A = this chain, B = another copy of it.
Amino acid sequence: MPSYKAPLKDMEFLLQDVFKTDQLWSSMKATKDTTPDLVSAILIEGAKISETLFAPLNRVGDEIGCEFSNGQVTTPRGFKEAYHTFSAGGWQGLGGNPAYGGQGLPKMLTVMFEEMMWSSNASFALYPSLSNGACLAIDAHASAELKNIYLKKLYAGQWTATMCLTESHAGTDLGLIKTRAEDNKDGSYDVSGTKIFITGGEHDYVENIVHLVLAKIPGSPEGVKGISLFLVPKYRIDENESLGESNGVTCGSIEHKMGIHAASTCVMNFDSAKGYLIGNVNEGLACMFTMMNYERLSIGIQGLGLGEWSYQNALEYAKDRLQGRAASGVAHKDKSADPILVHADVRKTLLSIKANTEAGRAFAAYVAMNLDIAKFSDDEEERKKAAALVQLLTPVAKAYLTDTGFESCVKGQSVFGGHGYIREWGMEQAVRDARIAQIYEGTNAIQAMDLAGRKVVRNKGQYFSVFVDEIEAFILEQSSKSEVSKELNKCIFSLKEVLEVLKETTEWLIEESQNDSNAVGAVATDYLNLFGLTCYAYMWAKMVVVSGDKGSDFCRAKLLTAEFFISRMLPQHLGLKHAICQGSGCMMGMGDELF
């Protein structure tokens, strides 16, 4: 039956060897207390709670799911208690602002714990993830009074939070929302409307739920420029900061979904619910976007975490399952058949997952590092550079980590043959749970449009140059070393090659977009895939640099996996480039009636 062990060794390898966080964190005021001992303790304890508390609830959560009755949501047995243990352990406030009781740890460390949560129980992980997102928006934009009341409770896990954006007719296009907020002229607003797809909108974990709601104040401009953000609690808070009366927030129903069954997905009705403005009037979307870079990375890690989970279980099965004999002859004479791990195709399947998962983990850490530098560095140049990389790479992280994560889950399922299709083995649940990560928090197509359109074309390639400069400096530095191992040499060569392709394609795209308003949409998803491949090639090169002079199994595996990535996966870029440079003609030329 499914099991999970947090990949602590790989996480420590990334933090210590690849990204040298000891130096980085001690160099910045906000992170200087993040000592190696603390890091180690957090990873070990994070692993323990994930492996022993969240993971065992994963199947139960899928089988039982949430139940809805009379406006109440009951989460599957064990989830509520698990959340209490989680919040009592201080995990909800791990990355929170210390001024309000958070622990202020760097994102680069918290992503490691986030991965463990996503791996062990994606449904469970969603509730704290939503609270985190809301806290970021409150911390950045709410009044000191609101922060003081709400952040403390949220970091402590006494309350949870949601983000209420979508309405039934308004998903990607939030300009269409109909929820209204009337100014009470007493510092509060009356919020009315219906939101759908609200994760954790109603549940039985805690006594209060804090909703961040996008709504329009009557008289505001049309479209996205007339949207404001409001904090709307389920129960009002009285003068003593304790729970007051019910606030006109009710759950109308919950959705029946493909996966993440233990995460409640609610239709939320707001009926003259008292709400408080967060940020300025009509700047609601901007306030939401404050936290987007953090949240989108986290959702990316949902894909990564489930891919890791799938790998671990597929590998176990490949070692246990006896079918057929090795192509080169019997490998295990004492057994009725050889374990399927002897077969090249099974190894290829596993290596594909491993190569994407390890590069993905490195890439998530890399983006998180840039989030930290952008927020905490004392050096303005460094902050600006990191902020540019965060802007550029966030859509790649969200989409590419979830696309490769989903693919990893599908591949892991394949290793099980027919058993992979049976629920009790858990492999099909991973596929279902991973699928949503490609869809929510902005679909991956929207991420691709964000990358190709906003972050590359409209930015005229400035962010992109920062990225290219960094990689080229890296290549130069490595190539000019007196001794370069043949593995590193191959990595650097391939990285250079794919980077050139990405540069050419980017130039083509910026140029083409001058004359064709559909160019971005026509190539965005392929362009994002090419971008993701390049990022992963960069990550593999960075990992190979610090694996070369070590003789351990761990480092040998890194070198061989890098080689697999380069020779068997990276060549996709050849087809992508060719497809991208065809432009939009063949899809825009097709009349609607011809589809």
Contacts and interface: CB of A to CB of B under 8 A. Distances in A.
Among A327, A341, A572, A582, residue most surrounded by chain B Cβ atoms (within 10 Å): A327
Given A327-B518, A414-B443, A575-B575, A590 B422 contact: no
A199 to B, nearest CB: 11
A351 B256 contact: no
A40 interface: no
A421 B449 contact: no
Contacts of A520: 327, 344
Interface string A548-564: 00000100110011011
Contact of A557 (B347, B418, B449, B594): B594
A323 interface: yes
A435 interface: yes
A258 interface: yes
Interface stretch (A169-177, A244-252, A384-392): A169-177
A567 B578 CA distance: 8
A417 interface: yes
A interface, size bucket: 35 or more
Contact of A345 (B259, B328, B448): B448
Q: Say how many copies of this protein the assembly contains.
A: 2
Interface string A18-61: 00000000000000000000000000000000000000000000
Contacts of A561: 590
Contacts of A590: 347, 351, 557, 560-561, 564
A573 interface: yes
Contact of A521 (B173, B323, B345, B439): B345
Q: Which 4 A-B pairs have the closest CB atoms?
A: A344-B521, A571-B578, A258-B428, A574-B574
Given A417-B439, A575-B576, 16 more contacts: A166-B418, A255-B423, A259-B421, A343-B521, A344-B518, A344-B587, A345-B449, A345-B524, A345-B525, A351-B595, A418-B439, A431-B435, A557-B594, A561-B590, A572-B572, A574-B578
21 contacts: A166-B418, A170-B323, A172-B323, A172-B417, A173-B322, A173-B337, A257-B421, A258-B422, A259-B421, A319-B592, A327-B520, A341-B592, A341-B595, A344-B522, A345-B524, A347-B595, A350-B595, A414-B445, A428-B432, A568-B582, A573-B575
Interface of A: 166, 169-173, 175-176, 197, 255-259, 315, 319, 322-324, 327-329, 336-337, 341, 343-351, 354, 410, 413-414, 417-424, 428, 431-432, 435-436, 438-440, 443-445, 448-449, 517-518, 520-522, 524-526, 553, 556-557, 560-561, 563-564, 567-569, 571-576, 578-579, 582, 584, 586-595
